[in-house]
Amino acid sequence: MRVLGIETSCDETGVAIYDDQQGLLAHQLYSQVKLHADYGGVVPELASRDHVRKLIPLIKETLREANCSAKDIDGIAFTKGPGLVGALLVGSSVARSLAYAWNKPAVGVHHMEGHLLAPMLDEPVPEFPFVALLVSGGHSMMVKVAGIGQYEVLGESVDDAAGEAFDKTAKLLGLEYPGGPLLAKLAEKGEAGHYKFPRPMTTKPGLDFSFSGLKTFAANTIRASDGSEQTRANIAYAFQEAVVDTLAIKCKRALKHTNLKRLVIAGGVSANKQLREELAAMMKSIKGEVFYPRLEFCTDNGAMIAYAGLQRLKAGEIEGLSTKARPRWSLEELQKV
């Protein structure tokens, strides 16, 4: 089966074609970073309009790259939610229209399931069951995964997610949007021992996340600092260290809770070098395994949607013509495949 995947949940337009025999045939990604940079964050209306402009040309380019035409496509997958409702509606409308015109089945994919399955785009493929830490821009979530569609949410954000905290703290440090990767780069120049940031919700039982207090602590620290480049780097170092330690503590707690030794990390924050190094060391210490997506598939992309959609199309899931976007959607509502 060969599936065209479409991702338009936020500020990146992603299109890909995945074949269950040949793997990923082609993928294209357009980022709206420059469009939203002047505003310091994503403007939903602008995001939706840009998806309208870019989606059809990207689909054409992806088909050309894969040397495919409509007759070579067996199904279409699109991000149904969660995300910005206007952006989701662009992708779902185009996907359903193409499916109707080409007489192909279509299926809506849960955005976070796409991230969760992204490590399966490359070898080695993690075997079920495993614990997944999903850390994208707006989500921090710990999930026990028994199989595709068999998800138990062990903990999630109660306020700011890790990615949001990175971006907001970066803005406080005077870095451009999106600030998360720039903060991580600035932290490389920082020195340990100058600041000690809290590790939120690690002294309490449970696996929920809260990063708003850490962001506030960072804001107060920045306000009281001398503002020099080295001081800013030291603050970035301490902030990143606190986020990474918090995520690692929660992962270790989740693995112990589930009695598992296999960990999957996905979402935009999973590209963070410090996080990868700390979790790799932690998993080595307990003789476990850790899996990540390829760096280009950590952020939103069409490949993960094509892969997840293929699994659901093969299981017989098909959307009707009245498909609606779901800006809020629990992973636990998904059907077992």
Tokens 């902030």 correspond to 239
What would the two tokens of residue 190 be?
């920082």
135 is in an annotated binding site: yes
For residue 82, say if its preceding peptide bond is cis, omega within 30 degrees of 0. Answer: yes
111 is in an annotated binding site: yes
User: Can you tell me the distance from the alpha carbon of 309 to that of 321, in angstroms, rounded to the nearest whole number?
Assistant: 17
Crossing angle of helices 179-187 and 273-285, in 10° steps, is 70
Cα within 13 Å of Cα(17), Cβ side: 21
User: Can you tell me the distance from the alpha carbon of 87 to that of 91, in angstroms, rounded to the nearest whole number?
Assistant: 7
50 is in an annotated binding site: no
167 is in an annotated binding site: yes
309 is in an annotated binding site: no
**In a 10 Å sphere around its CB, with 0-12 CB exposed, 13-18 middle and 19+ buried, how is residue 40 labelled?**
middle
38 is in an annotated binding site: no
268 is in an annotated binding site: no
115 is in an annotated binding site: yes
300 is in an annotated binding site: yes
14 is in an annotated binding site: no
What would the two tokens of residue 38 be?
């002047």
255 is in an annotated binding site: no
Strands 23-31 and 130-135: unpaired
User: Which residue numbers belong to the known binding site for Fe cation?
Assistant: 111, 115, 300
User: Which residue numbers belong to the known binding site for substrate?
Assistant: 134-138, 167, 180, 272
User: Which residue numbers belong to the known binding site?
Assistant: 111, 115, 134-138, 167, 180, 272, 300
